[in-house]
Amino acid sequence: MSPALIAVLPFLGALLPGLMVRSGRSPAAIACAAITAVALLGLLLHIPTVLAGEVVTTRLPWMPQIGLNADFMLDGLGLLFGILILGIGLLIILYARFYLSEQDAAGPFFTYLMLFQGAMTGIVLSDNILMMLVFWELTSLSSFLLIGFWKHLPEGRQGARMALTVTALGGLAMIAGCLMLGQVAGSYRLSEIIAQREAIQGSDLYLPALLLILLGAFTKSAQFPFHFWLPRAMAAPTPVSAYLHSATMVKAGIFLMARLWPALSGTPEWFGIVATAGLVTMLVGAVIALFQDDLKGLLAYSTVSHLGLITMLLGFGTEAAATAAMFHITAHASFKAALFMGAGIIDHGTHTRSIRQLGGLRSLMPLTFSLILVASLSMAGIPPFNGFLSKEMMLEQAAAQAGQGMSWAIGALATLAALASVAYSLRLVAHVFLGPARDDYPHAPHDPGPGLWAGPALLVGLVVVTGLFPNATLGWLVAAAGSAVTQTPQHPHFTLWHGITPALAMSALAIGGGVLLLRRWHRADRLRHRLPRPDAKRVFDAVERAVARISRGFTDSFTNGSMSRALALLMLSCVICGFAAWHTGLARPDLRPMLPVTPVALMGWVLMLVATGTMVALHRRRILALVLVGIVGLIVSCTFVYFSAPDLALTQITVEVVTVILMLLALNFLPKRTVLDTSNVKRGADAFVAALAGLGVGILAYAILRRDFAFPSISGYMVENSYKLGGGDNVVNVILVDFRGFDTYGEITVLGIAGLAIFAMTQALLGGRASARLRGWISEMRRAGDRHPLMLVVATRVLMPLSLVVGLYIFLRGHNAPGGGFIAGLVVSVALVMQYMASGYAWAMARQNIPYHALIGLGVLAAGITGAGAWFAGMPFLTSAYGYVHLWGVDPVEWATAMGFDTGVFLAVVGAVMLALNSLSRIARAAGQETAPSDTPQKGRR
């Protein structure tokens, strides 16, 4: 199974819960678990290849011109994180099935969980830094949905907003840093970036790129001073906490530092920033965790501390420290996920997470006690569990820094953090389970069923086994990950006994001091209450309010609700940016010769200037302005004809006709004149900005038209391959339905959405007070007595069949001559609109009733099915095919799949235009302007 498929599978699995949840929570959970298990199996099948030192890759070109490709790779580091993400994810899915209550929406929960799983898998398997950034932001969005899953809890909503704010801002900074890194390395492929160590560290962009990337990594991994968001996210359901905040999301920043370790580490800047931040985070998190009353709060701050430990090891910049970090990642994921799930079991069994309301649970919940005891001892670094091994390696590396001439403060602070870690780990056991049983529990404590304890039991088993037999169980995985991080073969050997070493003495001091601190915990807690304690949440809220206040003041100083003012500022900003770009950019000096200016072209240009200027001067007279707009459109159509672009001319003229008619109908319900409510100074300023913007656009157009480009034009390729690849002589139509078919598909989709939006707004307008105002509406102008002139009625009915034939003719000839589905749809729409205008909407609807909603959907569906048909031939979406049908007695007839796509365009255009007309007609009927269905024109009101 390719790495690309492994990354995609969770996203496919996210579709299943919504489809299966009506069958019950179990089918939804089983479906997600099955997808996760398949992806995990596909990952495990690559173990022999990865252990052999090879990298499994998948290269899918997407936009190679800018370095954006779907490149995936699986090496030792990706294997380690992939096993954690998918393996623990599988346990979390099964745990969540029994943890969620009947009132919780299991479908959305499992969908969000699979989306997050896919985003994390994409991060660790990406070999393109730009694609990794996309997955990075997806983790922020999906974690926001998971943290705020319990929408009825204010703390859940606030925790989700805080997590999204902090991690998204860090992600924006990281985007800039990664772009700098790719620019320096000359590639956005991660495997090539990490090989450019000398070039990157010798560049002037090294320090800014390092700071920006570390800002993204530190915010995601809750490093000081960004640690405050992680405990606030504990308002999420326990499965979310166990998955996101112990094994996956918070380790995304760790993964990023490990992935870029070969290129960024080994400098004084790296050591000073990363090692210091990790050391401070490890100590601060451990001290805060010691005094937490909430079970998940204690575990959250302990997670912050352990993330700091891993960050510090990576910051040391040595191969041994990096390998030790890989080991602690696996150890921490096993015991911390088990502890989070154990906290959920306690909450599930006692209906509280407050340590002050617990105690004495050892005899009431013996199974839970056993699981949490082992996991807590591992977290404290007590032998023979895996946490002891990783703690010893951490202390050994901290002592080694002092031995290399570094300050002994590193070893001392690391020991102090380990001491606090022992204290809060033992407190979790002593204050929750030991002591006499109480009689005031919020709910009678009891051990859960296998659905809740099976997952943590398996993880606790790993804690024990990997502690007793580390080389056989984890040695190969840590060695592969360490080799991938350091880019040199690593062969670590793990053992419970290292002899009498400084690390052993530091460990003994930490254990003894932790036990003593726990015995004096109440005294330390009282002392803590006497000391000033800055609350990070209050600081965050204050900063958030200040930023909002400044932003609001800035916005209010520039905008006051006036659209003209906002547009003027936008245009002025564009002009300034364009002016700056023009004077700082490089323009090719060679000029193309001017085309001759004929009298016809000059006359058309003058007419356009006059029409445009008149429209600006008389724009308050709306009907006249609309007529002038039509004149401008007609001149533009003639310009297209003059430059031999008949397709564009046909499209422009039909669009102008449809637009003018529909706008004329809409203006019927608006005042005929706009009231002048601006001063001469304001109009003069607007005129200045408009003239400046128009002059800038004109100069830019002149410069582009008079200069050649260094690269060949794409138009030559399309002209040469129009018939060869698309089977059509009309290059414009082949571009629309083949070369740029995806753009056209998006355009007809947007056009259909616009028609549906107009219909929806009409629905809202026809209800409530707006409907009452329409019924009482009286026109400002006298109307003709003959609402449907006889000559117009007869002419449109005679021309209707002819118009439909013309539309069909334009549609069929479009692939080889000017025409096509878009133009044909507009021609037929004009014919239908004129029919409705001449005889009345009620008369026309009485004789035909086409569901235009369905017509839009059918058009988009037809275009989509035609495009997807290319997949069956192994070609990209919307690749067209053509051939010839030989009929007896006639010349060969060409058939192209593009006709199906053009049919979809035709249907969507007709449906959108007629649905807009339907909406305007319903407003007219509500206002009492529509006549009853009859062949005889009726006299309307004055």
Distance CA 661, CA 794 (A): 19
pTM of the model: 0.73
How far is residue 856 CA from its own chain's centroid? Answer: 28
Q: What are phi and psi of 196, to 5 degrees?
A: -105, 45
Q: DSSP letter at 735?
A: I
H or E segment and range at residue 399: helix 386-403
Domain of 379?
Answer: 275-519
- Smallest CA-to-CA distance from 938 within 787, 791, 792 is with 787
The structure tokens listed for 734 are 């082949």
Q: Answer positive or negative: Cα dihedral of 472, 475, 477, 483.
A: negative
Distance CA 816, CA 36 (A): 50
Residue 415 lies in a domain: yes
Structure confidence at residue 933 (pLDDT): 40
Residue 67: band (very low, low, confident or very high) from pLDDT cuts 50, 70, 90: low
Domain boundary among 519, 552, 581: 519
H or E segment and range at residue 431: helix 409-433
Domain boundary among 519, 543, 576: 519
Q: Are 396 and 500 in contact (CB under 8 A)?
A: no
Residue 761 lies in a domain: yes
Structure confidence at residue 402 (pLDDT): 66
- Smallest CA-to-CA distance from 917 within 846, 845, 823 is with 845
pLDDT tens-digit readout, 852-891: 888 888 999 998 898 888 888 878 888 888 877 777 766 7
Please report, as a single letter, which amino acid is at residue 822: F
Please report, as a single letter, which amino acid is at residue 761: M
Distance CA 846, CA 853 (A): 18
Task: Compute CA distances 381 → 50, 271, 335, whole Å.
Answer: 30, 25, 11
Distance CA 630, CA 661 (A): 10
H or E segment and range at residue 94: helix 76-99
pLDDT tens-digit readout, 72-88: 999 999 999 999 999 99
pLDDT tens-digit readout, 320-359: 999 999 999 999 999 999 999 999 999 888 888 888 888 8
- Smallest CA-to-CA distance from 793 within 845, 843, 829, 846 is with 843
DSSP letters of 611-665?
Answer: HHHHHHHTTTBHHHHHHHHHHHHHHHHHHHHHTT-HHHHHHHHHHHHHHHHHHHH
The structure tokens listed for 928 are 């009492």
Residue 787: band (very low, low, confident or very high) from pLDDT cuts 50, 70, 90: low
Residue 836: band (very low, low, confident or very high) from pLDDT cuts 50, 70, 90: confident
Residue 9 lies in a domain: no
Residue 707 lies in a domain: no
Residue 834 lies in a domain: yes
| Residue 569 confidence (pLDDT) above 90 | no
Domain boundary among 497, 519, 541: 519
More confident residue, 767 or 895: 895
Residue 870 lies in a domain: yes
Instruction: Give the chain's domain count.
Output: 2
Residue 690 lies in a domain: no
pLDDT tens-digit readout, 305-316: 999 999 999 999
| Residue 915 confidence (pLDDT) above 80 | yes
| Residue 931 confidence (pLDDT) above 50 | no
Residues 6+ apart with CB under 8 A from 901: 737, 741, 744, 745, 821, 862, 863, 866, 867, 878, 880
| Residue 550 confidence (pLDDT) above 80 | yes
Residue 591 lies in a domain: no
